[in-house]
Structure 1
Amino acid sequence: MNKEIALVTGANGHLGFNLTKLLLEKGFQVKAAVRDMEKGKALAELGCEVVHADLMDVTSMISAFEGVTHLYAVGATFKMWSKNPQKEVYENNVQGTKNLFEAAKKAGVKNVLYVSSIAALNHAILPAQEKNGYNDDRNSWYFKSKNDSDQIALALGKEYGIRTVLVLPSAMIGSEAHQLNYSNRLVWQILQGEVPVETNISLNWIDVKDVALGSFNAMQKGRDGERYTLANEQHNSVKESVQLAAQLYPALKLKTPIKVPKFLLYMVAGGMELVSKITGNEPLLQRHYLDMFYGLKLDYDITKAREELGFEPTPAKEALENAFRYLKEEWDGR
């Protein structure tokens, strides 16, 4: 058993669960931190210690972080829509990051692996890479939260003398998932034939297990204060993703999404947003998403992660095929 004690926040989430499992397989003593202890059953079955930690409660984190040598900060609010996005998304992520580093300092944690997002990369220059700075598009509260939290994590790590390494994953898909995260849910919608329109928005698929391994290697090998992009080099369009599903499952009779002019998409998105204000359900299409991503090719330069972390991701097409198979086998009938 490794003498290092690792703790994963948000351990019941998609990446958190896979990372916890990986750490256990590598012989680490692991604490799996969750906000709701009732959601820790699957983690307990892996053989790790499940502890309570709420990012908005510093005291709970100090208690959970006791004795921890390596902290994997995975937990965050990932919502592209909310009735009150400033409070429920932005403030949760920004204040949660400040609270986590305060607790880590008080608990004596020396190493933090902080999971940021490709949302915090500058996409004005493609392929996007870490040295080009931050995303200056402030249309999305989620994107704002990731850009600001990313910088806060680096600043506080330096101020508190905590070795801090950041990873920036793209759209994580695949097994194992106890609930559908944002990206896996889109893959599921493709299988259900719920993507009838080509929005001219690209996606960068990455296998969640590759992100888990990349995060582990970043903790072990990454340089203090550095950011590493964990993504595939090239994007896939929604149309290409649907066509791949149609090839794998011809019996589903999935139709190729129809190309629609941007102005019409914008009108449809506005109508969906109005309905969502009443129902509380996230709209399938949002105007700010079109503003940010219409026509944008989400391509990345992963040279830094490849050379320093040994990051070699599963090709996007293969990752997507695996996700289709997993969801079809495990989620049909749920």
Structure 2
Amino acid sequence: MTTLVTGATGLLGNNIVRLLLERGVPVRALVRETADPRPLDGLDVDAVEGDLLDPVSLQQACQGVSEVVHAAAFVAIGRTAAAAAQRINVDGTKALAAAAHAVGARMVHVSSVDALAPGTPQCLADEETPGSKPACPYVTTKRAAEDGIRQAVQRGLHAMIVNPAFMLGPWDWKPSSGRMLLEVALRFSPAAPLGGVSICDVRDVAAGCLAALQRGQAGRQYILAGHNMTYFEAWKLFAEAAGSRGPWSQARPPLTTLIGWCGDRVANWTGREPDVNSVSVAMSHLWHHYSSSRAEQELDYQCRAARETVADAWQWFVDHGYT
């Protein structure tokens, strides 16, 4: 039976599509009219035009499918674009869940560790750790989308939630999270953020998503994280893969807070919020360190070595002209 994938032109969605095809599973991809055609070029995929904001197109896309992987999302770490985040991340997720339920399809909803509480240098966070991250449209709408999935499960939808950490790997056409790798590798940054990150390979996360689809318990949540390290260690690893200079030190909060404040002022003056703003700076101070033990035990989730992941991601960017 056919599997529907949303976000099929994005980093995770494109890797999921390719893994499904490798396994001989027919794939239908929901794509917007304005989507970049390169990620699906040459792939044997039934690409159907639709939009998460159009419930009718979602109902049509779900016809004849037995599984749905919802990997599309609106991602912006900042204080602006609240309306777009609500429409896409919350309303769109609920509409897709309703369409999947109507045809009896199983569903995996791709959330993010950003919807969960952070860890600490001494303790990894898991699915049950209390707390939350700084409030911003992305964080709050991803949490609300998870609530929408849980409500759909109560109505009978067989759905699971996965929470990937910081993904790197091939097929990052936009690029998305790989943009950090490119910026560190191509532009010398003397100081890295103070907090921590969990680097995982997008190919392993794609396999984890499909394992959740096949073996996950309805309503169950699975963290798909990786190797926990400081941003300083991660940035050194990025520079090593590219053969460039890595950071010398970690930036302290007074400086980074000022930089975030400046980003907010730029947003106020121009109407366009830069990637570096008060919210993204606050997030970089946190320890995004997570345990994937539940996924490891229930889904046989495994994450390859971070050095291999970073090297493969960098090589893909080199091969495709991003450097």
TM-score, normalised relative to structure 2: 0.91
Aligned to 1:239: 232
Instruction: Answer yes or no: is 1:130 the counterpart of 2:120.
Output: no
Structure 2 CA distance, aligned partners of 1:238 and 1:329?
26
Structure 1 CA distance, aligned partners of 2:322 and 2:34?
27
- Equivalences for 1:64-103 in 2 at 5 Å? 64-81=61-78, 84-103=80-99
- Equivalences for 1:24-63 in 2 at 5 Å? 24-36=21-33, 39-40=36-37, 42-43=39-40, 45-63=42-60
Among candidates 273, 278, 282, match of residue 264 of structure 2: 273
Aligned to 2:252: 261
Instruction: Answer yes or no: is 1:290 the counterpart of 2:281.
Output: yes
Q: For residues 148 and 267 of structure 1, do their structure 2 counterparts lie closer, same or farther at Cα, with a shift above 3 Å needed?
A: same
**How many matched pairs?**
321
Aligned to 1:153: 149
Structure 2 CA distance, aligned partners of 1:281 and 1:237?
29
Runs (4+) of structure 1 moved beyond 6 Å? none
After superposition, the CA RMSD in angstroms is 2.1
**Post-superposition offset of 1:235:** 2.1
Question: What amino acid sits opposite 2:187 in the alignment?
Answer: G
Structure 2 CA distance, aligned partners of 1:332 and 1:200?
27
| SS of residue matched to 1:200 | coil
What is the percent sequence identity of the aligned residues? 26
Structure 2 CA distance, aligned partners of 1:261 and 1:303?
32
**Post-superposition offset of 1:207:** 0.9
| SS of residue matched to 1:8 | strand
Among candidates 136, 157, 160, match of residue 165 of structure 1: 160
Aligned to 1:300: 290
Question: Does the 8 Å CA contact 1:129/1:302 hold for their aligned counterparts?
Answer: yes
**Post-superposition offset of 1:44:** 5.1
TM-score, normalised relative to structure 1: 0.88
Structure 2 CA distance, aligned partners of 1:260 and 1:23?
42
Aligned to 2:15: 18
**Post-superposition offset of 1:209:** 0.6
Q: For residues 97 and 248 of structure 1, do their structure 2 counterparts lie closer, same or farther at Cα, with a shift above 3 Å needed?
A: closer
Please, which runs of 5 or more residues in structure 2 have no aligned partner?
Answer: none
Among candidates 213, 217, 221, match of residue 223 of structure 1: 217
Structure 1 CA distance, aligned partners of 2:38 and 2:169?
21
More displaced stretch, 36-45 vs 172-181: 36-45
Question: Does the 8 Å CA contact 2:242/2:314 hold for their aligned counterparts?
Answer: no
Please, which runs of 5 or more residues in structure 1 have no aligned partner?
Answer: none
**Post-superposition offset of 1:70:** 0.5
Structure 2 CA distance, aligned partners of 1:38 and 1:86?
22
Structure 1 residues 73-104: Cα deviation after superposition (integer angstroms, max 9, x where no partner): 1111111136x321122342111111112222
